[in-house]
Structure formats: C-alpha cells, structure tokens
Amino acid sequence: MARKPKRDLTMEEQLARGPVDLPFLMILMLLVGIGLIMMFSASYASAYYDSSASVQNNPLYYIQRQGLFAAAGIVCMYIISKINYQILRPLSIPLLMVAIFLLVLVLTPLGVEINGAQRWLYTFLLRGPTFQPSEIAKVAVIIFFAARLSKRDTEKKKRFTRRTSLGRFLNWLEKIGFLELVPYGVVLAVVLGLVLLEPHMSGTILIMVGAAAVLFVSGIDLKWFIGLGSLAAAGLTAIIFATDYMTARINLWMNPWSDPRGDGYQTIQSLYAIASGGLLGRGLGNSMQKFLYIPEPENDFVFPIVVEELGLVGGLLVLLLFALLILRGYWLALHARDKFGMLTIVGIITLLAVQVFLNIGVVTNLIPNTGISLPFFSYGGTALMIQLAEMGVVLGISRQIPAPKKD
C-alpha cells in the first residue's frame, strides 16, 4: 500500500518549530534548580517538627511535593513552548472569562480561607492542593491586552456625527484617546474589584503593573499613565487606610520592634537571618533561623535563609540570575516576530520582575509586607507550575524570532 505523501509545513508551522532561546532557558533552569535546593533547606526543620496529619514529621514533605510540581511544570513549559503562540489571540477572551469566573468562585463558599484571607480554590474544587485564581488572572489580563493592543496601529479611529453636542463630545474623547482606554478600564475594574474583595493587595498591584506595562509599550499616551497612575495610587492609599489589616501592616513596617513577639516577629527574625549570613554565609543547610524562628521559612521568607546560608555573595548571585533572566526576557521582547509576541513577553517579564522586587523588599523591610512569594523559590506547587507555564509562553515566542541575516 502506497504511503501518503507528507504534507508541506506552512510558514506558521515552520516558525513554531524553531529553536528556543537557550540563554533564557539555561538561566531559568538554574533558578529552578537553586530554588528547589534552597526551599528544601529552608523547609527541612519546619517539616521535621510539624506533627500535623498531613506532614507527620516528614522532613522531605515539602521538597517531595515541590519536586513533583516542578517536574510537571517543566513538562507543561515544554509543551506550551512547542505550541504556536498565535493561538493565544483567539483564546484571549475565553481565558479572561475563565479567570473572572474563578475569581467569583473564590468569593463563594467554595473559596478557601487561610490566615484571614479568602484567595484560594481547591484544584479539584472540593479537595486537593489549592491555587490562587489571581495567578491565572494576571496572565489572562496580559494576553487579553496584548491581543487587542497588537492591532492598535491598524484600527481606524471612531467617527461620530458632528451635528449633535453628544457626537462632538464623543469625537473629542476619541481624539484625546479616552474611548480607546474604556474596554481596558472596564476589564481592570472588574478583575481588580474581585481581587480586592479577597482581599489581596499584592495581587492587585501585580495585575495593575502587568497591565500598565503592556499599555505603556503599546504606545498609549504618557499623560494617561500620569493621570490614571496618580488616581490609582490615591485609591490604593485610601483603601489601605480604610482597611484595618492593611493599616496595621503599614504601622508594623515603620517599626516592627513595636511588637517583637507578635506581628513584628517574622520581619525581625528575617533581618536577623540576613545579618547573620555575613559575606559567605553559614554554609548550605546550616541556617539557625529556620529552626522555628522564622515562621514558615519555605514560603515568602525563603530568601533570608538563602542569604544566611550562602551569605551576601550567594544572595547577590541569586539576584544576578534573576536580573539576567529579566534582561534576557526584555531582549526577546525587542526581537519578537510581531507586536503581539512583544507585548506578551513584556507583560509576563514585568510581572516576574515586580514580584521579585516586592518579595526582596518585604524580607529586607524595605516595603510593607505584601504576602508575595519569590518566583521559583517559595513553596507552592500550583504557583510554580503557573510560573513555568508563563515561561513556556516566552520560550514559544522566542522560537519564532527571525534569525539574524548573514552578511
């Protein structure tokens, strides 16, 4: 029986089969590897002394789970990187709708409350590991904005009748660029409103920053960022001072020693860990602060353990790797095949950069505690999978970067 002739690949398929960006991939895998090692070191003692039904004094509890999620996340990253990222354009609206639906679901009895905040859902709704729908919402907003704004240069401006005062007013709003921002403002208002109800201030900030980065790079007039940014800052300030737990965090940030055995305890112990690391650290696995001094050191406060064990040099090397990954990400954005790819990478990498800055700022008491994790380092399996999936999108876009022309 004669074989059917192979179908010729389309240009889109050929582009999607290009090589991924190796520098970006290598830096990423280094961070994931170091993150797993340091999370294991930070979590070993707290797991050993945890006699709860789930942990049962198993010192390998956290690393076993995190390792499995890391492996699954790398597989997801690889699969996503092989998919032509252009498929995300038509999926941008359905993805946004799913994210909004999950954010609504969090506020129902299905939402999981931890430490006074209802931000989580069970992966299988009634049981299983938890995840934060706000993590999905961050990416959904970026992809939706990137898909719409990538067509901005080809869209014709709206024209309204000049015979009525309303028509003339609408023409003026179109001229100054206000009408163009309306759909983005509506989407942000819905998503941010739902996230604030959890309440989740750090998630709100990250979504705003990711969206603002995409809008800025797309060419939206700078005056809107100054005006709306000032308005957003004023709104966040009002929310902070109108919310008791946020006001308490501000006061604690200004003087954590005012409550050294209460709410200020974690911050003080974090500073002790960083200070005791010195130049070269106590040595891998030799942290003292992880022995029930820093609460849950495997989560948001894993970086102080890194500095305590690896010293100032080790901490700076980790930050250098993050900086290189972020810079390489922006380099990929500059060389992306099209505007949609560029805007998507800018949004994702900006999210990563801001999250790293906020986490390091919190553990060093540079900024108030926002309850935000360190990417690739903090314990949280579903969060790690989502982060690796985001990196898969970046790698998928890197496959289609045009090869440099030979002289």
| Structure confidence by residue, pLDDT tens digits, 330-353 | 999 999 999 999 999 999 999 999
Kindly calculate the radius of gyration of the chain based on its CA atoms and give it in whole angstroms: 23
pLDDT band at residue 327 under the 50/70/90 scheme: very high
Is 1 domain-assigned? no
What is the average pLDDT across 317-337? 97
Distance CA 398, CA 407 (A): 23
Side by side, which strands form the sheet with 112-114? Answer: 112-114, 117-122, 130-131
Check whether 370 has a pLDDT greater than 80.
no
Whether residue 11 is contained in a domain is answered as no
Which residues span the domain enclosing 46? 17-398
Comparing 405 with 61, the larger pLDDT belongs to: 61
Q: Residue 343: which residues within 8 A CB-CB, separation 6 or more?
A: 142, 145, 146, 149, 150, 214, 217, 218, 333
pLDDT band at 179 (very low <50, low <70, confident <90, very high): confident
Q: For 257, which DSSP code?
A: G
pLDDT value of position 130: 80
pLDDT at 405: 63
Q: What is the Cα–Cα distance from 183 to 148, expressed in whole angstroms?
A: 10
For the purposes of burial, counting CB atoms within 10 Å of the CB of 162, is it exposed (0-12), middle (13-18) or buried (19 or more)?
A: exposed
**Is it the case that residue 14 has pLDDT exceeding 70?**
no
Residue scoring higher pLDDT (287 or 124): 287
Give pLDDT, residue 4. 55
The per-residue pLDDT for range 246-259, each reduced to its tens digit, is: 676 777 777 788 77
Q: What percent of the chain has pLDDT over 90?
A: 56
Whether 402 has a pLDDT exceeding 60, the answer reads yes
Q: What is the C-alpha to C-alpha distance for residues 42 and 59, in angstroms, rounded to an integer? A: 11
CA–CA separation, 332 and 388 (whole Å): 17
DSSP 286: -
Kindly state the tokens that stand for 148.
């719409």
187 band by pLDDT with thresholds 50, 70 and 90: very high
Q: Is residue 406 part of a domain?
A: no
Residue type, 10: T
Residue at 296 is within a domain: yes
CB 309 within 8 A of CB 281: yes
pLDDT value of residue 245: 63
Count how many domains the chain has: 1
Nearest-angstrom CA–CA distance, 403 and 101: 41
Please, which residues have CB within 8 angstroms of residue 198's CB and are 6 or more apart in sequence? 106, 107, 117, 118, 119, 134
Each residue's pLDDT tens digit, 69-95 = 999 999 999 999 999 999 999 999 999
Assess if residue 39 is contained within a domain.
yes
Q: How confident is the model at residue 407 (pLDDT cuts 50, 70, 90)?
A: low
Does residue 116 form part of some domain? yes
The reported pLDDT for the residue numbered 254 is: 78
Phi-psi region of 292 (alpha: psi -120 to 50; beta: other; left: phi over 0): left
Residue carrying structure tokens 């076993």: 64
8 A C-beta contact, residue 128 and residue 122:
yes
Structure tokens at 325: 């990954």
Residue 80 has a CB neighbour count (10 Å cut-off) of 19
8 Å CB contact between 13 and 84: yes
pLDDT at 406: 59
| 4 within a domain of the structure (yes/no) | no
**Domain for residue 368, yes or no?**
yes
- Compute the distance between CA of residue 263 and CA of residue 261 in angstroms, rounded to an integer: 7
Both tokens assigned to 322: 């993050």
* Of residues 132, 147, 153, the one with CA closest to residue 90: 147
Q: Stretch 398-406: mean pLDDT, rounded? A: 78
pLDDT for 230 equals 80
User: How many of the other CB atoms lie within 10 Å of CB of 27?
Assistant: 21
Q: Measured between alpha carbons, how far is 301 from 371 in angstroms, rounded to an integer?
A: 10
In terms of DSSP bridges, do strands 112-114 and 117-122 run parallel, antiparallel, or are they unpaired?
antiparallel
- Top pLDDT among 52 and 12 is at 52
Task: Indicate the DSSP class of residue 20.
Answer: P
Confidence of residue 154 (pLDDT cuts 50, 70, 90): confident
